[in-house]
Amino acid sequence: MNYSTPILTIRNVSVYYSKYGNTIKALDNCSTRDLRSGEWLFLKGPNGAGKSTLFKAITRTVNISSGSIELNGKNIHKLSNRELFQKIFLISQNPDTSTVGELTVEENLVFSSPRLSHTSIKNAIEYSQLSNHRHHLAKNLSGGQRQLLALQIARLRKTKLLLLDEPFAALDPANEKKGLELVEQLNMDGVTIFFITHDDDLIAKKQHSGSELFTILNGKII
């Protein structure tokens, strides 16, 4: 596995906003070391510590107040929407962030990767065990099925950086296991995994394989 290419750099990032006349520091001068291609990193912290805000800053769904975030050495705010879309994929507990509920399973995959062959789409559906649901609207799938669909979208798009914000928190053990298997396969294919979770058993297991844990508290990586 190649660890030589920096994929993500987070330097002194702050996100402030006003609430009831008070300034809230969602992220406060937050920095990490460079994240490199093919790594698997965890992010852990209490509720309200800034975990999800950091991911929103990386995906440009919130504006940063100061600092910089770079993807492959280029400031993310200088990337086109298409460049950002091609390189970063976020899967959260809310399946609407990564799949389109009003499209079918097959349409979601075609929409995300329109140049792929019919065979590739068919194989992705079968691998996710969604063959019987290929013409069903995504909004009618179970939570676990939608997360498996989202992971196939990430794979077919050849995502470089996969952000996982507790995507399996509400899933049954069987779907969680299948989801983790897909994430591990993506990682083996060179995708950088940045994973928010409270699952200490998973963190301990992956740390034995070389994964690293970042802890965030009060908007800062400590």
Sequence spans of domains, the chain: 37-62+80-221
Strands 212-217 and 40-44 turn out to be parallel
Please report, in tens digits, the pLDDT of each residue of the chain (222 residues total). 444 668 999 999 999 988 888 888 999 999 999 999 999 999 999 999 999 999 999 999 999 999 999 999 999 999 999 899 889 999 998 888 899 999 999 999 999 887 888 899 999 999 888 999 999 999 999 989 999 999 999 999 899 999 999 999 878 888 888 899 999 999 999 999 999 999 898 999 888 788 899 999 999 998
pLDDT of residue 1: 47
Strands 40-44 and 192-196 turn out to be parallel
What is the rounded distance in angstroms from the CA atom of residue 124 to the CA atom of residue 180?
16
Over residues 171-221, the pLDDT tens digits come to 888 888 889 999 999 999 999 999 999 989 899 988 878 889 999 999 999
Which element (helix H / strand E) includes 137? none
**Which structure tokens are listed for 96?**
């609407």
Out of 3.10.20.70, 3.40.50.300, 3.55.50.30, 3.90.1150.10, which CATH number does the structure's domain 37-62+80-221 have? Answer: 3.40.50.300
Query: Do the Cβ atoms of 196 and 6 come closer than 8 Å?
Result: no
Which residues are bridge partners to 85 per DSSP? none
